[in-house]
Structure 1
Amino acid sequence: MKKIIFFIVLGTAVVGCKQKSDNVNHKYTNALINETSPYLLQHAHNPVNWEAWHPEVLERAQKEDKLLLISIGYAACHWCHVMEKECFEDEQAAKVMNENFINIKIDREERPDVDQIYMDAIQMISGQGGWPLNIVALPDGRPFWGATYVPRDNWIKSLEQLAELYRKDKSRVTQYATDLANGLQAINLVENDTESERYSMDQLEAAVHNWSQHFDTFMGGHKRAPKFMMPNNWDFLLHYTKATNKPQIMEFVDTTLTRMAYGGIYDHVGGGFSRYAVDIKWHVPHFEKMLYDNGQLTSLYAKAYAVTKNELYKDVASQTIAFVKEELMDKSGGFYSSLDADSLDKNGQLEEGAYYVWTQGELTQLLGKDYEIFQDYFNINSYGHWEDGNYVLIRDKNDKEIADKYNLEVSGLKNIIRKSLDILKTERNTRSRPRLDDKILTSWNGLMLKGLVDAYRYLSKPEYLDLAIKNAEFIQQQMIKDDNSLHRNHKEGKSSINGFLDDYATVIDGYFSLYEISFDGQWLRLAKRLLDYAIEHFLDDTSGMFFYTSDVDRSLIRRTIEVDDNVISSSNSMMAINLFKFDKLFPNKGYGKISEQMLKNVQKDFDRRAQGFSNWLHLVLFQNQNFYEIAVLGDDFKTMAREIGKEYNPNSILVGSKKDGSLELLKNRTVPGKTLAYVCQHGACKLPVSSPAQVLDQL
C-alpha cells in the first residue's frame, strides 16, 4: 500500500491526566458533558465539537459525507493531555477540526473493541502505535490516516491537507481506505487447524528454552527497558516449574518477583504496583496505578508464596490488597479503574510522580534517628536517585543483610522500617492526591476478584473472602443482565455498554475460582450461564475461536479475534482455559472439544514467541500431564478442602459438598459420619481418603 500523505508518529507514554475544576464558568461545552467516563468529561469543555462513539454519530457522518476524526486515549495517559492542551484547547486547531470533521473522542478502556481496530490500523500505516491514538476515517469508519502525539502546528497542517485531499481526490482516499480495511480483515484471520497433532512437552520445552534467551537473570524480567511486569508470563513459568521441576526457571521467576517487589515500581509506602518501569532495574515507574495490574499481581504473589513460603511475597500480596481496598474500592463492592500518575507538586503544578517521590531533606526531617538505616534500606543515594533531587524508594538487599550490618535482629529492623513507612504515609496523605478514574470495568473487576480469591486460598485471611464475595455480588447485581449477558461499564449507579469477551472470560474465571474456595453453588451456576451465553453469541463456527464482540452488537470493519497474550491475557486464551475446566464438571456439553480446537488453532506460534502466548501454555500442561478433579464430601468438607487448596496444584480443580450434590463428581459419594476426598481423572476416581496429606500423596 502507498502512503497517501506523510504520517506523524512520535513518542508516546502512559502517564498522568490533566486536572480541571468543576467550579469554573467554561467558555465551551460539547456533547461529552453527557458522558460518565472521567476521560471523556475532561474534554467536555474543549472548543472542539467532540461527540462520543454512538451509532447515530456515524450515521450523521455518512449523511453529511463528512470525514471522521477519532481520538482515543484514557485517563492515565500523560501525552493524551499534553496534546489536549496544545491542540484540543487551541481555538484555531479546533476551528479546523470542527469545519472539516465530525470529531469523536473515545475512552479506550470503555471501548477496547474500537481501539483494537484503529490500533492495528495505525501499526499497519506507520509501524508504530500508542496513545493518544488519532485516526482520520471515511464517514463509514474505515481509516486512512493515523498518528499518535502531534504538535499543534503539524496537527493543523496535517488536518488541512487531509480535508483538501478528500475534497479533491475522494476516489484515491476511498481506495486506500478499502485496501487498509482489507488488510485489517486479513491480519485478524485465524484458521481452523484440523491437521496438527497436540502440542507436546518436548515442543514446550524447546519453546521455553527459546524464550529463556530473553531472560534477565540478574534483574529479572526480560532484557530490555522499559520493563513491563507481564503477570501471565511469570504465572505460566511458576506452573511450568511445578510441572517439570526446572530449578533454573524457578530461580528466574524468584529473581523477577523479588526484584519487582524491591523496585520503585512497587509502592513501598502505600502498597500496589505502578504500570511499568522505564529502566532495567524496575526503579522509576510511570506512576499510574491500574486495577488490572494489581489484580493479576495479587494472584501471582499469592501463588508464589504458596510455592516458596517467602514472606516477602505474602507481604506484597497483602499490601497490594490493602492499597486496592483503600484507594480503588467503591462502597458497592466494585473496584475503580486507576489512579493517575500526575499530581500537584508544592508549587501547584501538575508533575509526574509528585505524590510518590521524596527528597533527602524531607526524609531526614521526618525520620530522625531512623534515617540512617532507612536510607541504606531504600537507597537514598545515587542508586535510588531519580531526578532533580527526588528519590524513588528501591531496595537491593534483603532484610538479613541490612540487619547484620546494623547488629539488629531481622524483626527489629522490620519494626524500624514499618514505623518509618507509616510516618511517610501520614506525610504523603497531606499531599495533593492523584486523580481517580472511578469508572468500574467488568473485566478488570473479574481480575481483581480472582486476585482476592487466590489471596484467600493461599494466605488464609478471611477478610479476603469477604471482599471477594462483596465484589462478586456487585458484579451479579449490577453487571449481569436478565438474559445472562454482561455490561462492560458502571459509573454513578448506571451500568452501560454491552460486555466484550474479556468481560465474560474474567468473570467466569473469577466465579469458578470463588466456587472452589466457598463451595457456594450459585457462583458456579452463574459462571456456567455466562459461559453458555458467550458460546451462543461470541463463538465463530468458521474459525473455532471467539469474537471479541457479540453478535448483538454492530461490527466496525471486522469482528476482532484476540489471541495474543499481552499484559492482560487474551480473551480467547482465558476462555479456552475456562472451557477446559468446565468440561471436567460438565463432560457432556462439548466444552472440551471447543477448548482443544482453540489451542490447536494458535499453537503454531508457540515455538517462535512463547512469551506472547504464555496463558495458552497452561493448556499444554493441562493436556499433556495428569489433571485431577478433587471432590470432598462430608460434614467437615470445607476444612479439608481448604487445607488441600492451600497447596499450589494448578493441574486440578476442587469441588465440595456436605452431602451428595448435582454435579456428577458429587453424586453417590457421601459416607455418613465421614469426610472423604476423592481424587479423580475424567470422572474415574481413586479410593477415597480421609486427610489432606493423603490427597496430596495421590496427586
Structure 2
Amino acid sequence: MTEEKKPNRLIHESSPYLLQHAYNPVDWYPWGEQALQRAKAENKPIIVSIGYAACHWCHVMEHQSFEHEKVAQVMNEHFVCVKVDREERPDVDAVYMDALHAMGLQGGWPLNMFLNSDAKPFYGGTYFQPQQWVNLLINIADVYKKNREELDNSAEQFAAHLNRSELEKYGLSKSNFHIREEDLRLIGYNLSTKFDKEKGGIGQAPKFPMPTDYLFLLRYYSHTNDQSILSQVNLTLREMAYGGIYDQVGGGFARYSVDAEWLVPHFEKMLYDNGQLVSLYSEAYQLTKDPLYKDVVYETVAFVERELMRAGGGFYSSLDADSEGEEGRFYTFTKEELQDILQDEEPLFSKYYHATAAGNFEHGRNILHRRISNEKFAQENQLELEVLEEMVKGWKDKLMAVRANRIRPGTDDKILCSWNALMLKGLADAYYAFENKHFLELAVDSANFILDNMTHGEKLFHNYKEGKATIDGFLDDYALLIRALTRLYEITFDEQWLQRAKALTDYTLEHFFDEKENMFFFTDNSSEKLIARKKEVMDNVIPSSNSVMASNLHFLGLYFNEERYQQLSDEMLSRMTDLIIKEPSFLSNWASLYFHKLTPTAEVAIVGEEAAETRAEVSAFYLPNILFAGTTGKSNLPLLQDRTAINNKTTIYVCYNKTCQLPVQTAAEALKQLKDRAQQPTSKFPSL
C-alpha cells in the first residue's frame, strides 16, 4: 500500500502551474512575505523556481527532481523554496531573469534562482539534471554557511545592476527629436537583412511568430509600396498557415516551430499568440484579400472559442504541449489511423497533408502540413476547386471527431487581463476586416467580462479564477486593454469604451509614470515593492508595455485633443529612435508608432444615421494610419464637436493635424481624400 501524498502550501493557490506542484515533497511556498520572513528567521538562502503551466522542461525538471523525496529532502533542509508562475507574476520573473542575464547566462524556463534572505540573487540557472541539481544545492548550502559575506556582496552588486535604468542600460538617456522619411526606410532595410527569404520569418530555427514585426512591415509597405516587403510578409504568413505550427485540423497556432520550415511545433498553444495572429491575418486580408488569411482568422477564432473560452466569459491562458505523456500526441496521426478514419479518401488526404507511413514526427506519427495552395493542388489532381474545398472540410470534421475522444492536453485555466485584451483586440480587428457579427458579439462580451470581473474603480487586476482577482494589474494589462477598448470604440462608436480607455490611461499616468525618464514602470506604485522596479521597453512576441502606451497616448491624444498625451508620446518615441533604427527586430511596435507619426494619422469623423455602415465602407480598404470617430446624433467627443450631418445626410470629415478637408457624403469621396493625402509625408520634428 503506497503512502498517500500530502499537499504542500501550493494547494491553496489558484495558478494551475503552482497546483501542479502542490503534491511535491518539496516544502514549496508561493511568492510572498511568509517565505522571506522564514529565510531571515532561519538564516537560509532562498530558491525561487519560476515556470509556467505549458512549459515542457518545467515539467521535466519537476518529474526528475521536485517529485523525488531525496532531492526534496536536500532542498527542504538547506533552503526556503518558492514556486512562481511567471504568467501570474511577470514582475518577479522580469527581475530575476534580468539577474540571470547579468550573470552572463542565457535565459529561459524553468528559471531557478538562488537568493539571500533579502531576496537579492547571487546565482542562478535554468534546467538542471537531477544529480547536477543536487550537487549544486549541496555546494551552495555549504558556501552560504561558510562564505555568507562573499555571497551577500555578490548579491548587492547584482541588485545594483537590476536597479539600473533600462534607458541607461541601452544608451537611451538622450532624446533624439526627429521623424524622417529616410530613417523609416532605414528601419525597413535593417529589418529586411534578417529575413529568411526561402521559408519566411526572421532568422533561423527556432522560429516564433512575431506579429508586431509583420504589422510594422504591412505599414511600411503601405507607405513605400516596396513589393519585396509585401512578398516577405505574404511568404511568412502563407508558410505559417501551411506549416505544422498551425493546427491544420482544428485551427490556432502553436507557440513556435523548432525548425526553420515551420513544420515541427512546440505544441503548446498560447492565448497571446492566437489573439495577435488573428489581428495580423485580419489586417493582411484587408490588404491582399487572400482567402487563406480569412480561413486562418475564422478557424483560429473558432479554436479559441471552442477550447479556451470559459463558460461564464473570459479566455483561458494556454493548452499544454503534452498529452498521454507525449508531446503533440493529441494533434498527430499515424498512417494507419488515417486509413481507418478516412478509408478510400486517405491517399488523397495524405498527399494534401504530406502524411507518410514512416511519419515526420516521433513514434511514426505525422504532423499535418501543406505546401501549395488549394488552387494548385486541385489543378494538379484534376479536381474542381469547390470539390476539393468540400473534401477538406469533411476531412477536418472526421479528424476533429476522433480528436474529441482523445485525452486532451492540460488547460491552464487562469484568466490574465493582458492576454484577454490581446484576444479582445484580435476579435475587434477581425470584425473590422470581415464585418462578421459573431466576432463583434465575442469582442463586446470579452470587454464586459474584463471590466466586470477584473477591475476595482479604475484599477485593474492581472488575474481571475473562480470568482477571485488577487494580483494588482501590471502596465501591460493597462496598455493592452486601453488599446483594445480604443479599437472596440472604432467598430461600435459606443463611447463608453473610449471613455474607459481614457480613464485607464489617466490611472497609468498617476500610478506608473516616471517623469524623470518619461517612461512607465511595469508595476503600480501602490503594489508590492520588489528589489527592483523595472521598465519594459523592448518588444518581443508581445509588444512592450511602454511601446503600447506610447501608441495609446498618440491615438487618445487625437481623440480627446490632449496635448499632454501627444507630447508624452513624442518624448517616449524620441528616446527610442536611434535604437529603433539600429535594432528594429527588437522594437517593431515602436517602429509602427514611428510610421504613424511620420505620415500623419488621418482623423475620420462620421456623423449621421449611417455612421457605422459608412465606416465599414471606408475600412474595407487597407488604411493603416487612420482612426475613426462616429455618432448618429451629437457627441461631446472633441473629434465630433460641431460636426453635423449636412442636410440630414451622413457626412464624413477627413482631418490631419487639426486641418480638415471639405466634408463629403460618400465613402468614395472620403477614400479619395485619404489616398491623396497619404502620398504627402511630413516630418513632425525638425532634424537636429
Fold match (TM-score > 0.5):
yes
1:527 aligns with 2:507: no
Relative distance call for 1:207 and 1:638 in structure 2 (3 A) is closer
Question: Hey, what does 2:263 align to over in structure 1?
Answer: 283
Q: Pick one of 123, 126, 139 that aligns with 1:148.
A: 126
Aligned-partner residue type, residue 317 of structure 2:
S
CA contact under 8 A between 1:634 and 1:672: conserved in structure 2?
no
Deviation string, structure 1 residues 670-692 (Cα, Å, up to 9, x no partner):
13521001001133221111111
- Aligned partner of 1:60 in structure 2 is 38
* SS across alignment from 1:492: coil
**Structure 2 residue 284 is matched with structure 1 residue 304:** yes
Are residue 475 (structure 1) and residue 450 (structure 2) matched? yes
Structure 2 residue matching 1:186: 3-state secondary structure: coil
One-letter code of the match for 1:49? D
Equivalent residues of 1:384, 1:394 under 8 A apart: no
CA distance in 1, matches of 2:80, 2:656: 59
Structure 1 residues 525-558: Cα deviation after superposition (integer angstroms, max 9, x where no partner):
1111100000110001111100000101132221
Correspondence for 2:394: 419
**1:330-376, Cα deviation, whole Å (9 max, x unpaired):** 122200000011001xxxxx100010001111112211222222111
Aligned equivalents of 2:487, 2:359: Cα separation in 1 = 40
Distance 1:367 1:330 in 2: 32
**Cα displacement string for residues 237-273 of structure 1 (whole angstroms, at most 9, x for unaligned residues):** 0111011111110000000000000000000111100
2:225 to 239, 245, 254: 245
Q: Which moved more, 1:106-115 or 1:405-414?
A: 405-414
Query: 2:148 maps to which residue?
Result: 170
Instruction: Find out whether 1:611 has 2:576 as its counterpart.
Output: no
Indicate conservation of the 8 Å contact 2:105/2:125, yes or no.
no
Calculate percent identity across the aligned residue pairs. 46
Tell me the matched-pair count: 670
Compute the displacement of 1:195 (Å). Answer: 4.7
Verify: 1:565 aligned to 2:539, yes or no. Answer: yes
Please list, as runs of the form range in 1=range in 2, the aligned pairs for 1:590-601 lying within 5 A after superposition. 590-601=564-575
Residues in 2 aligned to 1:646 and 1:330: alpha-carbon distance in whole angstroms:
32
Cα drift, residue 428 of structure 1: 1.1
CA spacing shift, 1:571–1:334, aligned 2, 3 Å: same
Q: Indicate which of 336, 340, 347 corresponds to 1:361.
A: 336
Matched with 1:215 is: 195
Q: What SS does the aligned partner of 2:514 have?
A: coil
Contact 1:447-1:510 within 8 A present in 2 as well: yes
Q: Residue in 1 aligned with 2:352?
A: 377
- Counterpart of 2:364 in structure 1 is 389
Q: What is the CA–CA distance in structure 1 between the aligned matches of 2:339 and 2:517, rounded to whole Å?
A: 63
Q: 1:377 deviation in Å? A: 1.0
Secondary structure, in 3 states, of the residue corresponding to 2:480?
Answer: helix
Q: Residues 263 and 395 of structure 1 are in contact (CA less than 8 Å); yes or no, is this contact kept in structure 2? A: yes
- Alpha-carbon distance between aligned partners in 2 of 1:25 and 1:442, rounded to the nearest angstrom: 40
Q: 1:373 aligns to what SS in structure 2?
A: helix
Change (3 A) 1:193 1:299: same
1:541 aligns with 2:519: no
Which of these residues, 34, 40, 54, is aligned with residue 12 of structure 2? 34
The 2-side partners of 1:504 and 1:107 are apart by 20
Task: Report the AA paired with residue 67 of structure 1.
Answer: P
Secondary structure at the counterpart of residue 47 of structure 1: coil
- Structure 2, unmatched stretches of 5+, are 675-688
**Over residues 386-438 of structure 1, what are the superposed CA-to-partner deviations in whole Å (9 max), with x where a residue is unaligned?**
23311101111111221112211111111111111111111111111111100
Equivalent of 1:318 in 298, 321, 333: 298
- 1:578 counterpart residue number: 552
Classify the secondary structure of the residue corresponding to 2:114.
strand
Unaligned runs of 5+ in 1: 1-23, 345-349
CA contact (8 A) 2:556 2:562 kept: no
Match of 1:204 in 2: 184
- How far is 1:100 from its partner? 1.3
Looking at structure 2, the residues matched to 449 and 215 of structure 1 have their Cα atoms a distance apart, in angstroms, of 30
In 2, distance between residues paired with 1:223 and 1:479?
38
Distance 1:607 1:240 in 2: 13
Q: Which structure 1 residue ranges, 4+ long, deviate > 6 Å from structure 2?
A: none
Deviation at 1:378, TM superposition (A): 0.8
For 2:530, what is the secondary structure of its paired residue? Answer: coil
Task: Note if contact 2:600-2:657 (Cα within 8 Å) is conserved in structure 1.
Answer: no
1:429 & 1:261 partners in 2: Cα distance? 23
Matches within 5 A, 1:10-89: 26-89=4-67
Amino acid at match of 2:152: T
Query: What is the distance in 1 between the residues matched to 2:271 and 2:311?
Result: 16
Cα separation, 2, equivalents of 1:351 and 1:431: 13
Q: CA deviation at 1:382?
A: 8.8
The answer for the alignment partner of 1:131 in structure 2 is 109
Opposite residue 516 of structure 1, the aligned amino acid is E
Which amino acid is the alignment partner of residue 593 of structure 1?
Q
Q: Given the alignment of the two structures, is residue 91 of structure 1 paired with residue 69 of structure 2, yes or no?
A: yes
Q: Offset at 1:127? A: 2.5
Aligned: 1:448 with 2:423: yes
Of 313, 318, 336, the match for 1:338: 318
**1:587 Cα deviation from its structure 2 partner:** 2.1
1:192 and 1:543 in contact (8 A); partners too: no
Report the AA paired with residue 51 of structure 1: Y
1:383 and 1:219 map into 2 onto residues whose CA distance is: 24
TM-score, normalization by structure 1: 0.94
Letter in 2 for 1:547: F
Alpha-carbon distance, 1:194 to partner: 5.3
- Residues 332/174 of structure 1: CA separation in 2 closer, same or farther (3 Å cut): same
2:435 to 448, 451, 460: 460
**What is the CA distance between 1:641 and its match in structure 2?**
1.4
| Maintained 8 Å contact 1:333/1:467 | no
- The root-mean-square deviation of aligned C-alpha atoms, in Å, is 1.5
**Scaled by the length of structure 2, what TM-score is found?**
0.95
CA–CA distance in structure 2, aligned partners of residues 188 and 406 of structure 1: 57
- In the alignment, the residues of structure 2 paired with residue 565 and residue 381 of structure 1 have an alpha-carbon distance, to the nearest angstrom, of 40
Where 1:474 maps in the other structure, the secondary structure is: helix
2:94 is aligned with 1:104: no
